[in-house]
Structure 1
Amino acid sequence: MPEDEQAAVRASTPGGTVAVGDARIPLELAKSEIDGLLTTLVQKGGSDLHLRVGEPPVIRLHGEMMRIDGKRPLETDMLEAMLQSIMPERNKKEFAETWDSDYAYEIEGLARFRANAAKERKGVAAVFRVIPATVVNVEQMQVTQEVQNLCFLTKGLVLVTGPTGSGKSTTLCALIDLVNRSRTDHVITIEDPIEFVHPNKNCIITQRQVGVHTQSFKSALRAALREDPDVILVGEMRDLETTAIAIETAETGHLVFGTLHTTTAASTIDRVIDQFPADRQDQVRTMLSESLKGVVSQVLLKKIGGGRVAAREIMLGVPALSNLIREGKTFQIPGVIQTSRRFGMITLNDALIEYVNDKVVEPKEAYMKAVEKVGFLNQLKQAGHDVSFLEASEEFGGAGDKPKEPPKPGGAAPRPPLKR
């Protein structure tokens, strides 16, 4: 277990209690409660555990929110004690100052978890995401050979993108594992927090956590250039400076993997370029056209019969696409991807329709995850699939096959009642 997590487990007030306001709750009781809930999460095969004051614990199972049977609503003192019993000291200070904190927690022999603690209307709240105890591989993740080939490049930028909860970290884990098994290099990962722990195989792996081993992504990325790296993973390209260093690093002889919260290859390129001031964007387009070797944009879908599967849009850095990036014609990228299947590229819509045709996912599920919905609806109709789900959909106001305008940012679709 990493040193900061060992400190979290040991953390307590004198006498083996956790101080919460005027109350003192036994450390072992609080830790036993949270460990028990996390164990239930893993045993049921869930992906996330949600804890809220005044609500029973809830898990996300195959994308659906479900209450844990037999659990009563959580009280403020106990929930705060549960979180305090496992939270590293630096995160306790951060939470006290900012009311938000991210950290990792491990139950040895069971799993690691990515945790977020926050304050909300009723009090404290937390979400724990399961990180599998063992590193996943490209075979398990069904990563195509063309994407696997990116792991053998000596330099360039590879971006894995998607919305929160789309499995970006898991896909990146599989790619780094392939590097680790197939190359004899030095790999540096910069993460917040460290999720998958990579043992050295054929490579030497250096894993650094922001806030524990380094102050920020950009400072760690700068330092990495002096640490004889061959491959660098940047967990999140959050700001202009980190993005700029990542592009320059990829240009100067290193293979760089990074992530963004974008949903398509074209929007990924636009997001990268738009981070820069207008007077630098032409230069960045040129640099990106030369250094960007691949974009994998993915979403997670519920499978028929249970479980989830990733659908991926894949763009590879072929000359035609490099020219479009250089010329600022990203709106033409989807068309080039669509006509470049022979190179291993595929649009998200085409990846989705394949799952529907193969009866892996329902048409409605694929439609809801499509980014370009009008085009995907036409694909469903052309393939002879039933699209009657649109007629009764509140999202489209009974407008049949004519989707409304996309919801404005900040809008939220109505959620069904929690299942028991």
Structure 2
Amino acid sequence: MDIKQIIDYVANNGISDLHLIAGKPIFIRQNGQMQAMGEAVPKEFIETSVAQMLTPIQLQTLKSDRQVDFMFSQGEHRLRGNAFFTNTGLSACFRVIMPRVPEFNTIGFPAFVEEKLVSASSGLVLVVGPTGQGKSTTLASLLQARALARPQHILTIEDPIEYLIQSHDSVVQQREIGRDVLDYEAGIIGSLREDPDVLMIGEIRNQSTMASTLTLAETGHMVMGTLHTNTAVQTITRFLDSFTPEQRPQVRSQLASNLSMIISQRLVPRANGEGRVLAFEILTMNYAIANYIRQDKIFQIPNVMQTDSSGQMILFEQSLVSLVMSKQITNEVAYEYATDKNQLKALFELNNIS
């Protein structure tokens, strides 16, 4: 058993995730589906393989914290890894990172998203969705498009760095948590003295990072980040619920004034069984939504999105219906992934989908 051969196989065969668990077969995730491969993995193999991939500092972190995030490169292949201890010993999980940042117009979003976000000079952009749904790819593609569009200073804070953004005529600086900066909050505060045009925050995890993110957006910078939420409404609610009742009026005001766009995304199985296709929800800030945020009437936002005539609002269920009508996904898959099944049913009836 050779870890290099395993990684080559995984990276060359469209496999997104690799799991090494002591005493279990190798597990892989392909097109969103988990499957076993090969014989049981000895714990010594995992320990040796992980030790080869980690720096001395990362090894110490693994010993003290019982888990560690890291990046590993082998030839042209890059993988994001997490090593952690369980009741069976050391385990490791790897996510394959595409060797090149894809062009944004190939991902599957409407053209207005790139046009709006590449030209914007300020505002808060949130890309949200569950783990493994392409959020990092979306952000990397946006940053790459901005770097190409005009010279600017792009600064990222990541844990760990995944895609390497090409600078072209721009200045691109990527900082990794634990290696280049202590934590997200320290990186955000430090960025105020580093003259960025754009700051990308790999993951907005807690209240302190949210507060720092909102403060930075208020200073007139373009700020991008990710959260593990499913819809625009859930995202706004997550922000507000992270603060005390006394703090929320100020947070509502900050969001209403600085939020530019929320992109929610999921990768759903194609009807032909060949891979997955992007489904999405897009909230583009306007006067009505800003007012509802200030008034704490978040529940009204889906109505604004559904009736908007600008063409720059798309509910998740509307995206699913479009995929069904173009025969890219089945009705059953649409219902499985819908966040509001009643709304999906109504849209099916409206479009004569049976």
TM more than 0.5: yes
Matched residue, 1:42: 11
Deviation at 1:224, TM superposition (A): 0.7
Q: Which residue of 2 aligns with 1:332?
A: 300
Q: 2:82 aligns with which of 92, 106, 116?
A: 116
Task: Name the CA distance, whole Å, in 1 between partners of 2:123 and 2:137.
Answer: 21
For residues 192-244 of structure 1, the C-alpha deviation after alignment (integer angstroms, 9 at most, x for no partner) is 00000012112110000000100000001111110111110011111222211
* 1:384 CA drift (Å): 5.0
Please name the residue that 2:248 is paired with.
Answer: 281
Among 47, 58, 62, the residue aligned to 1:91: 58
Q: How does 1:219-298 map to 2 (within 5 A)?
A: 219-298=186-265
Identify unmatched segments of 5+ residues in structure 2: none
Which residue number corresponds to residue 18 of structure 1?
none
What are the Cα deviations for residues 343-386 of structure 1, in whole angstroms up to 9, with x where unaligned? 32100011011111111012222221111123223434554555
**Counterpart in the other structure of 1:366:** 334
Give the counterpart letter for 2:85 in structure 1: K
TM-score, normalization by structure 1: 0.81
Counterpart of 2:67 in structure 1 is: 100
Distance 2:22 2:348 in 1: 43
Cα pair 1:182 1:202 within 8 Å, conserved = no
Q: Within the alignment, does 1:173 sit opposite 2:154 as a pair?
A: no
Give the distance between the partners of 1:381 and 1:144, measured in 2 at CA: 24
State how far apart, in whole Å, the 1-side matches of 2:153 and 2:222 are.
Answer: 11
Structure 1 residue 120 displacement after superposition: 2.0
Which secondary structure state, in structure 1, belongs to the residue aligned with residue 329 of structure 2? Answer: coil
For residue 349 of structure 1, give the secondary structure of its aligned residue in structure 2.
Answer: helix
**CA shift in 2, pair 1:79/1:341, >3 Å:** farther
CA distance in structure 2 between the aligned counterparts of 1:78 and 1:112, rounded to whole angstroms = 20
Percent identity between matched residues is 34
> Which moved further from structure 2: 120-129 or 228-237?
120-129
Note the 1:50-69 alignment, pairs <5 A: 50-68=19-37
Query: Where does structure 1 lack aligned partners over 5 or more consecutive residues?
Result: 1-31, 387-420
Contact 1:190–1:234 (Cα < 8 Å) also in 2: yes
Q: What amino acid does structure 2 have at the position aligned with 1:142? A: G
> Is the Cα–Cα contact under 8 Å of residues 230 and 254 in structure 1 kept in the other structure?
yes
Partners in 1 of 2:130 and 2:24 — Cα distance?
Answer: 27
SS at match of 1:46: coil
Q: In the TM superposition, what is the alpha-carbon distance from 1:131 to its structure 2 partner?
A: 0.5
Paired with 2:189 and 2:155, the residues of 1 have a C-alpha distance of 12
**Structure 2 SS opposite 1:232:** strand
- Name the SS of the counterpart of 2:310 in structure 1: helix
SS, match of residue 141 in structure 2: helix
* Count of aligned positions: 352
> How far, CA to CA, are the matches of 2:333 and 2:309 in structure 1?
24
Q: In structure 2, the residue corresponding to 1:282 is in which secondary structure? A: helix
Distance between the aligned counterparts of 1:283 and 1:91, measured in 2? 39
Verify: 1:183 aligned to 2:140, yes or no: no
Verify: 1:317 aligned to 2:285, yes or no.
Answer: yes
Q: Report how far residue 35 of structure 1 moved.
A: 1.6
Q: Equivalent residue for 1:125?
A: 91
Moved more, 79-88 or 181-190: 79-88
What is aligned with 2:179? 212
What corresponds to 1:29 in structure 2?
A: none
Q: Residue 193 of structure 1 aligns to a residue in which SS?
A: coil
Partner SS for 2:40: coil
Classify the secondary structure of the residue corresponding to 1:139: helix
Q: Which residue of structure 2 aligns with residue 21 of structure 1?
A: none
How far apart, in 2, do the equivalents of 1:238 and 1:36 lie? 35
1:227–1:123 CA distance, 2 compared to 1 (3 A): same
Runs of 4+ aligned structure 1 residues displaced above 3 Å come to: 377-386
Paired with 1:384 and 1:84, the residues of 2 have a C-alpha distance of: 57
Cα deviation 1:101-157 (Å, max 9, x = unaligned): 111111122x21111111223222111111011111111212322211122111110
Contact 2:144–2:166 (CA<8 Å) still a contact in 1? no
Provide the secondary structure at the position in 2 that maps to 1:85. helix
Return closer, same or farther for 1:377/1:80 CA change in 2, 3 Å cut-off: farther
Q: Structure 1 CA distance, aligned partners of 2:309 and 2:225?
A: 24
1:273 partner SS = helix
Change in Cα spacing, 1:341 to 1:177, as seen in structure 2 (3 Å) is farther
How high is the TM-score relative to the length of structure 2?
0.96
Kept after mapping to 2: 8 A contact 1:48/1:128: yes
Q: What letter matches 1:73 in structure 2? A: A
- Are 1:363 and 1:380, in contact at CA under 8 Å, matched by a contact in 2? no
Quick one: distance in 1 between partners of 2:282 and 2:334? 17
**Given the superposition, is the C-alpha separation of residues 119 and 381 from structure 1 closer, same or farther in structure 2, using an over 3 Å criterion?**
farther
**In the TM superposition, what whole-angstrom CA distance separates every residue of 1:280-338 from its partner, at most 9, and x where no partner exists?**
11011011101000000111101122111111100001111111111111101111111
